[in-house]
Structure 1
Amino acid sequence: MDGTLTKAVINFAKMRQRANILEGDILEVLGTLPVQERVRVEAIINEVEDEALPKMQINDGVIELCNLLDEARVPRALLTRNTSKAVAYFHENHFSSMPPFAPAVARDFGLLPKPDPAAILHICREWGVLPSETVMVGDSLQDDVISGNRAAASTILLDMDGTAEHHLMDGELKPAFIANSMHDVAQILQTEFVLRAH
């Protein structure tokens, strides 16, 4: 969600500093903490994310892309390392004129977060499709591309700031396609895939 459907506005540097988790994947480190410390750090993470909610802005091209998929009767899901609260805020404040993403899988859903492929595989089971019939679109090589590749889905890296060329992209880090905007994502979906109604 953050950086793909919406502009990235969460202050992760502040989150890391306040949580005193300066290295490593913050959710992975959180999972290793003793219970009392985990509760304290999780409250900090939630607080920093809540502070960002009023700043949330939908990315250009999202509504048009979703209209394209809806008209073709192609299902769309939302998968985020953020909370269900943030997903609800997005749907209510930025997406209320559209059918919601379904399913919408947040980190408090009970599945391992990206880059683990569990949530993508869950979505595929909900839809009754094979992972190879799906496309994972996201702005993170480490989270979105790896989870999509591990699930055997096609992957589109959304590289709106043009920095992807500076990263080593091979193996699990190699997306099938790179898009510079959500408009580019729509074009890739129309030209490189068969949009099959479900």
Structure 2
Amino acid sequence: MASLQNYTLRQRRFAPLNPANLKSSDAPQLKGIVFDVDGTLCLPQNYMFAEMRAALGISKSVDILHHIARLPTDEERHEASNKVKAIEREAMQHQEPQPGLLELMDYLEERGVKRALCTRNFKTPVTNLLQNHLPTHVFLPIITRETPGLLPKPDPAGILHIANEWGLVNGGGNLIMVGDSLDDMTAGHTAGAATVLLLNDHNGHLKEHMHTDLCIEKLNELVGILENGFTGNKTRSERSSAEGRV
């Protein structure tokens, strides 16, 4: 990764969603929001990852999905994947919605903002969360680690796929990615989207990361931010040379 001297500071902006304030803004229009799931729509269940690594016999520094993908045989990959899924299925019985979740989703629906999901979970825990806590809300598309042909975050492929499905021609340039991890911030940033970090007890170190545009403590804080116009505190675009993504 390049040093910070090779990055330029900028602010990501979107026009207010409140029609009364729209005419006074020259900022781009927000076209949709992509949400992570675990730790974003529901409270973090970080204990899962220690259990997964123990089940797979790997250290904290090893990415779980990368480890599974690199196993030498289909049988080994299938066995490892099933171990991870078993832990996720158990954890999903204890999912709790994030504070402010329903208020934010009701607001976005009222304002006609498209919503999608991009998660490293598999489909079953995602479906469980939506059915139990957001049964009347629609998220399309829903990208999981099992979505064919797309690499999981931190790769931007899932977010770019969502942008394409929504007919957007500039990648994630008119989107916001909301998440709680570095994978979320990096995937959003490299897709060209603005990023919002939902803070918890474990991710405060990401406040100043070059891929983080804005931080919130509760999801419903986004209501006022979007109503009056999104302005990122600061972010570093990719290299200012032609090879970078703005």
Query: Is TM (by shorter chain) over 0.5?
Result: yes
- 1:87-166 matches, cutoff 5 A: 87-96=126-135, 98-110=136-148, 111-129=150-168, 130=170, 131-141=172-182, 143-161=183-201, 163-164=203-204, 166=205
- 1:68-87 matches, cutoff 5 A: 68-87=107-126
Please name the residue that 1:16 is paired with.
Answer: 53
Please provide the CA RMSD for this pair.
Answer: 1.8
Q: How many positions carry a matched residue from both structures?
A: 189
CA contact (8 A) 1:156 1:185 kept: no
| Bigger relative contact order (CA 8 A; separation at least 6) | 2
Q: Distance in 2 between matches of 1:180 and 1:6?
A: 13
Stretches of structure 2 that go unaligned for 5 or more consecutive residues are 1-36, 232-246
Q: Distance in 2 between matches of 1:88 and 1:162?
A: 26
Q: Distance in 1 between matches of 2:202 and 2:216?
A: 9
Q: Quick check: which has more Rg, 1 or 2?
A: 2
Q: Distance in 1 between matches of 2:228 and 2:178?
A: 15
Local SS of the residue matching 1:77:
strand
Task: Select the residue among 213, 223, 230 that pairs with 1:176.
Answer: 213
Deviates more, 1:20-29 or 1:63-72: 20-29
- 1:26-45 matches, cutoff 5 A: 26-35=64-73, 36-45=75-84
Deviation of the 1:168 alpha carbon: 7.6
Please name the residue that 1:47 is paired with.
Answer: 86
Q: Percent identity?
A: 38
CA contact (8 A) 2:105 2:137 kept: no
* TM value normalised by structure 2: 0.72
Which residue identity is paired with 2:220? H
* Residue-by-residue CA offset, 1:73-113 (whole Å, 9 max, x unaligned): 110001110011111111212211x2221111111112110
Deviation of the 1:125 alpha carbon: 0.7
- Runs of at least 4 residues of structure 1 off by over 4 A? none
Stretches of structure 1 that go unaligned for 5 or more consecutive residues are none
Which residue identity is paired with 1:135? I
Higher helix share: 1
* TM value normalised by structure 1: 0.89
Deviation of the 1:192 alpha carbon: 3.1
Deviation of the 1:193 alpha carbon: 3.1
Q: Distance in 2 between matches of 1:83 and 1:181?
A: 25
Higher strand share: 2
Please name the residue that 1:5 is paired with.
Answer: 41
CA contact (8 A) 2:180 2:203 kept: no
